[in-house]
Amino acid sequence: MGKKKNKNKVSGAVKTAAKTEKKLANKLKKELANLGEEDIAKVIAEIEREEAKRSAATEKSLPGPPTPRAYASLTPHPTKDELILFGGEYHNGQQTQVYNELLFFNPANNTWKQVKAPGGPPPRSAHQAVATPANKGELWVFGGEFTSPSETQFHHYKDLWCFSLADKKWEKVVAKDGPCPRSGHRMVLVGRKLMVFGGYADDGRECKYFDDLYAFCLDTRTWSKVAATGRGPSARSACVMFPVGNDGIYIYGGFSRVREGRTERACTHADVFRLGARAGGGGGGAGGGGAWRAGRGPPAPRRAAQAAAVSVHGRGYVFGGVSDVEETEEELKGELSDELLMVDLDSGKWHGVTLRGEQVTSANSDQKSVDEEVEKEEDVTVVTDEVFTMKLGPAPAAPTSAPVTGQTQPRRGPSPRMSAMMAVLKSTLYVYGGVLEKDDKQFYLSDMYSLDLHKLSEWRTIIEQPPLPDWLGSDSEYDSDSGSESDESDSDED
């Protein structure tokens, strides 16, 4: 009679892995005890329990603007002339603070209010939020990450939340077959579906980037993985993603790390992809498959962590971001941008947005005003619809080594930055916060600006940026990789 098989027997490799995991867990507990921190999973669970205890929503006016932050979401209110700011984080060189504040900004009187509602989500950054006017207004939030104050622990979310703007209540929406935990992803509303693409997750041992695309149907409250034909965008985070009509999406740029043999290199993307209905009229576009096709992006440096917003007139706006300009084994240096670009989502054509109040001087020409330049057909595109007319400059030129003299007056408006928050409300563009890199340090900003897309005259300052605070970290401890990837484990871009 043969030996009876032990169904519970495990291999030596599995045992070794289990022992290793136990040692790592015990080591982490000791490290956390020394830092005075609890396990991050326990912290998040306790926050959710406390949020669930709230019995009714409360509102209070803020005496001033919000605290500095980046990697938050700024969303146009679907039924009111307000902007909704949720979450985000702040880092001072020593500690990180992550928020779950739900704030409302009224542009008419430049006032902020905070709403605390029952059953809210735990703090997060590098998440995504989308608003819809259905059911008297809803705000949908997916994913993101939570970082412990010492940045020794990171948690990536895969949860989906819905905030009723009318009832002022949060709901944690449980639906199977959704995306795995991630941050740095992108989410847009296409028809009645939330489309989620890309992102990254870091478990402390491996950092993985995603190229998957999911659709969440708001009517059936079900997830489905979108299978599209053709070559789509590679795995990445911190890209730009726009909805196109009722069945398409548009993806540009982003950041990832690409393995080459035993090493990895940083990769900032400049490619463009569009997903729409299958050729011949079949398929359901972004929500039901469709086909990927490559497009032409702006002739600008490869960028990631750009702020993006879309208007109701089929135009996408992109501001700022970071371009990697130097990489060594020790660090990755980036160059921040303050460019404002516009893409016509129907034609796919890019333009640099030129303000009428700006005067530009090139290396090979005398200074000319924008009003003089717009007389040249080749330099200006005039876009007209039933609401307003825009005069747009030519697409941005590729970087050149030729010297360029400065402008005659200091440039107004938001300074170069990455991972800012941006939204279009009616015909006004708003930019808030973000991250400024200076002397190998990162400063989180709290300034805010608006731009009338009808007049295109000049940026208006809503919140002045106060003097930068002292950086509390040391240069030797600072990981400059965060200049390129900062939304993902606090060392990856948003």
pLDDT in tens, 72-116: 999 999 999 999 999 999 999 999 999 999 999 999 999 999 999
391 domain-assigned: yes
C-alpha distances (whole Å) from 116 to each of 51, 64, 101, 104, 137 are: 9, 17, 8, 11, 17
Residues of the chain by 3-state class (helix, strand, coil), percent to 5:
10, 40, 50
Residue 49 CB burial class (10 angstroms; 0-12, 13-18, ≥19): exposed
The per-residue pLDDT for 326 is: 62
Residue-wise DSSP of 374-399: TTSGGG-EEEE-SS-EEEEBPPPPPP
The per-residue pLDDT for 16 is: 43
16 domain-assigned: no
Calculate ∠ Cα 457-460-462, nearest 5°.
165
Tell whether the model's pLDDT for residue 383 goes beyond 60: no
262 domain-assigned: yes
How do residues 134-191 score in pLDDT, each as one tens digit?
999 999 999 999 999 888 898 999 999 999 999 999 999 999 999 999 999 999 999 9
* Distance between first and last Cα of the chain: 63
The per-residue pLDDT for 312 is: 84
Tell whether the model's pLDDT for residue 372 goes beyond 80: no
Our count of domains for the chain comes to 1
Measured between alpha carbons, how far is 471 from 284 in angstroms, rounded to an integer?
A: 51
Average pLDDT, the chain: 81
29 domain-assigned: no
Cα dihedral 420/425/428/434 (nearest 10): -10
489 domain-assigned: no
The per-residue pLDDT for 475 is: 53
140 domain-assigned: yes
Instruction: Name which of 71-75, 288-292, 362-366, 408-412 the model is least confident about.
Output: 362-366
Query: Helix, strand, or coil here: 456?
Result: coil
- Domain with 302, as residue range(s), is 42-360+368-483
State the average pLDDT over residues 371-392: 39
- Is residue 19 left, alpha or beta, with left meaning phi > 0 and alpha meaning psi from -120 to 50? alpha
How do residues 439-491 score in pLDDT, each as one tens digit?
889 999 999 999 999 999 999 999 999 999 888 876 544 343 333 344 443 44
Q: Which residues of 104-118 are buried (b: 16+ CB within 10 A; e: fewer)?
A: bbeeeeeebeebbbb
440 domain-assigned: yes
Measured between alpha carbons, how far is 198 from 179 in angstroms, rounded to an integer?
A: 9
323 domain-assigned: yes
Tell whether the model's pLDDT for residue 367 goes beyond 80: no
Residue-wise DSSP of 275-292: EESPTTS-S-GGGS--EE
Cα dihedral 155/156/159/160 (nearest 10): 130
Residue 97 CB burial class (10 angstroms; 0-12, 13-18, ≥19): middle
Placement of tokens 């809803």 in the chain = 138
CATH number for the domain spanning 287: value is 2.120.10.80
